[in-house]
Amino acid sequence: MRLATLTLTVFLALLVAETKAQPALTRSPVAPVHLAQINQLFQTNGIRAGRAGIDRQGRVELQGQFENDREVDLAFSLAQTVVGVRWVSPVTPENIRVKAWEDCLGRLMAGEPCGGAPSAAPPSRGPAAGEVPPGPVANKYGLVVGVGRFRGPITPLQYANKDAYDVYSYLIDPAGGNFKRENVVLLRDENATRDNVVRALGEIQRLAREDDLVFVYFSSHGTPPDKFGGVHVVTHDSQVNPRERIWETSVNEAILRDFVQNIRTKRLVVLMDACYSNGAYQHVVGFLPPGGKSLEMAGDEGFGRSRRYMAQRLLGAKDLVVDEGSPRGAGAPTGWGKVLISASDAGERSWESDQLRNSVFTRYLVDGLRNNRGNVKEAFDYAKPLVREQVKREKGADLEQNPQLTPNRRDWNMSIAIASR
């Protein structure tokens, strides 16, 4: 009798614990009618063995078997059109078997290129090789991309073109970044196609040596989060029909990762003033969920990149590196490393400002670079609180924009205005 009572007690305790472990399900706006709608779309679009379920957080989860990577993108896109990006869980190898992207993900995580044979000699990642400091800066290279007008029906950005020109002007100014004009590529609007961006990244990757310094800047829209949770950079010729083409025709994670991890320079700064916003795609028929917004989300919903995303996916770091620079003092900082900077945190938009006539983040970061001799750390620390204040003052007290910085080593702080040899 005692055993039976004990068994019943344990069972009830487990049941209560299980119920408490799933509070998100009761708050989720995803209903059976949404799952039925998604599954009907799967069948209509030729997805026979895949289906939509619901995970422990109340999000739509792709389940079953999918034929290939393209079918996964299609399924992921169809689910987002019904419930929005917030309520679709990123696909993981545990709940879906797609050998093509499993292999690709494995290669990317190992620092190898995806889409071809593994590199014959992947770069050494041992501590000795990783901590050999570079010599004095030999050459400096830059790529500046600003896309405000798009070939498709994507909502224009008012100041992305100007953002790019302001960054470019700072870089080539002898009193600013002091880059050689011929070493900085400026791509704006119709010139900022995916092929042109990829070609420019490849050329810098080919030219840059260990002792050089490289600066890359993007100002554009982001894509919706893809099946890995990543937000990519939209180019002038990015396609939105069918919806999943946006991931295939933008500057995606594989391109960025290959550039960041395999470039030889030990001084790299990448700035991404791009986030996903529903407003960018409001004129694209069938791109957004009904009503133009995700379930229970405002119409200005945005998704930026978190520091964890940047560290784990683009830098290849297993753990976050604290964004601490070298101690401040007179003279240019002498640190080095690879630094990724995003205009906003995860779940936030990157705002443009009619008052500043720029992206808020780009305006204050360029000001910070000019006022601090190109010191990246001091420029970022100068810009971050001003961005937060300007967004709240101009866009609304309840809105947040928090720029993020992720380096691959602690002693990373450097000046991009330092003279080359």
DSSP secondary structure letter of residue 11: H
Phi, psi of 270 (to 5 degrees): -120, 125
Which sequence spans correspond to the domains of the chain? Answer: 10-87, 137-407
Q: What is the pLDDT of residue 298?
A: 64
Token pair of 162, please? 């100007």
| pLDDT tens by residue, 387-407 | 999 999 999 988 899 999 999
Angle at 142 between CA 137 and CA 146, to 5 degrees: 160
N- to C-terminal Cα distance for the chain?
A: 86
How many CB atoms are located within 10 Å of the residue 262 CB?
14
In the predicted model, residues of the chain with pLDDT beneath 50 are 1-26, 99-111, 115-129, 325
Can you spell out the DSSP letters for 312-367?
IIIS--SSPPP---PPP-SS--B--EEEEEESS-TT----EETTTTEEHHHHHHHH
Coil, helix or strand at residue 215: strand
Phi, psi of 37 (to 5 degrees): -65, -45
CATH of 137-407, one of 3.40.462.20, 3.40.50.1460, 2.40.30.10, 3.30.70.580: 3.40.50.1460
pTM attached to this predicted model: 0.83
Angle at 386 between CA 335 and CA 404, to 5 degrees: 50
| pLDDT tens by residue, 99-155 | 444 444 444 444 455 544 333 333 333 333 457 899 999 999 999 999 999 999 999
CA distance 335 to 179: 19
Give the HSE-up count for residue 23: Cα atoms under 13 Å, Cβ half-sphere. Answer: 2
